[in-house]
A and B are shown apart, each in its own frame.
Chain A
Amino acid sequence: MQRTYEIMFIVRPDMPEEELDKLIAAFDATIVQGGGVVKSTEKLGRRKLAYMVKKCNDGQFVLLTVLAGGSLVAEIERRLRVSEPVIKFISVRMDEEEKRLAKIKAIRATRKKLSAAPAPPAEPAPSVAAPTEAASA
């Protein structure tokens, strides 16, 4: 069962750029080997942490968007835990949320069509409204 996950992790701030690239490449390789697909990798740059993590006050954030199964995510998490420069990570399942958003978008699109369609024939609308007012009065 392939699902979309977002895996974000924080690397120690004193890690040089090339080694960070190497680390990300290694994670990408493990994902591909495990039968997953790396949709995107994004380096979000250095950021100050909201609280101290392993005696670090800031860190380099990396975001992976991955299409993978549950067992593969567990494996990636294990590797993240083991690897020394990674100080914190989180993996979030995104597909349900995406599905929900797509549904909302579709509903909104149909609504817009409905609201756009009766806008040109605006003249008959008051004539409809007038009898109802008369009926209520």
Chain B
Amino acid sequence: MTAESTHPRPEGSGPASSGPRQPGARPGGPGGGGRKFFRRKKVCKFCVEKIDGIHYRDVRLLQQFVAERGKIVPRRLTGVCTTHQRSLARAIKQARNIALLPFAARF
């Protein structure tokens, strides 16, 4: 299952495989299939840890999903699922309103 999902492109598509392949460049790959980059499958933190209520009050939790400048980190970087990203964004915006989180970091 994980091996399938980590295949970004099918193996047979490239006769023009320009780069030299280095098998086993990084340990921990599934089966060591000759791919240069192995990206870990991202999982939604809230689904895995079964955190169901995303609340504007727990700043510790929200801070993990806010970038240094105070931006909300996009889903594609954090791996949070759509449902949770929506409620996360709402909670972050509420926390900003009550000055628990910054709108923009000051310099």
Q: Please give the residue numbers on chain A whose beta carbons come within 8 Å of chain B beta carbons, in ascending order.
A: 8, 10, 47, 49-51, 53, 59, 63, 88-90, 92, 97, 101, 104-105, 108
Chain B interface bracket (under 10, 10 to 19, 20 to 34, 35 or more): 10 to 19
Q: In angstroms, how far is the closest chain B Cβ from the Cβ of A55?
A: 13
Taking the complex as formed, is B65 at the interface, i.e. its CB lies under 8 A from any CB of chain A? no
The answer on a CB contact under 8 Å between B98 and A88 is: yes
Chain A binding site: helix, strand, loop or mixed by DSSP?
strand
A53, A92, A104, A108 — which one has the most chain B CB atoms within 10 A of its CB? Answer: A92
Q: Residues 88-101 of chain B: 1 if any A CB is under 8 Å from the residue's CB, otherwise 0?
A: 00000010111111
* B98 contacts across to A, CB distance below 8 A: 8, 10, 88-90
* A101 contacts across to B, CB distance below 8 A: 52-53
Give CA–CA (A108, B94) in the complex, Å: 28
Give CA–CA (A8, B55) in the complex, Å: 13
Taking the complex as formed, is B102 at the interface, i.e. its CB lies under 8 A from any CB of chain A? yes
The answer on a CB contact under 8 Å between B94 and A53 is: no
Q: Please give the residue numbers on chain B whose beta carbons come within 8 Å of chain A beta carbons, in ascending order.
A: 50, 52-53, 56-57, 94, 96-103, 106
Chain B binding site: helix, strand, loop or mixed by DSSP?
loop
Closest-by-CB residue of A relative to B102 is A50
Contact partner of A90 among B53, B94, B101, CB < 8 A? B94
Closest-by-CB residue of A relative to B97 is A90
The answer on a CB contact under 8 Å between B52 and A104 is: yes
Q: In angstroms, how far is the closest chain A Cβ from the Cβ of B102?
A: 4
Q: In angstroms, how far is the closest chain A Cβ from the Cβ of B40?
A: 27
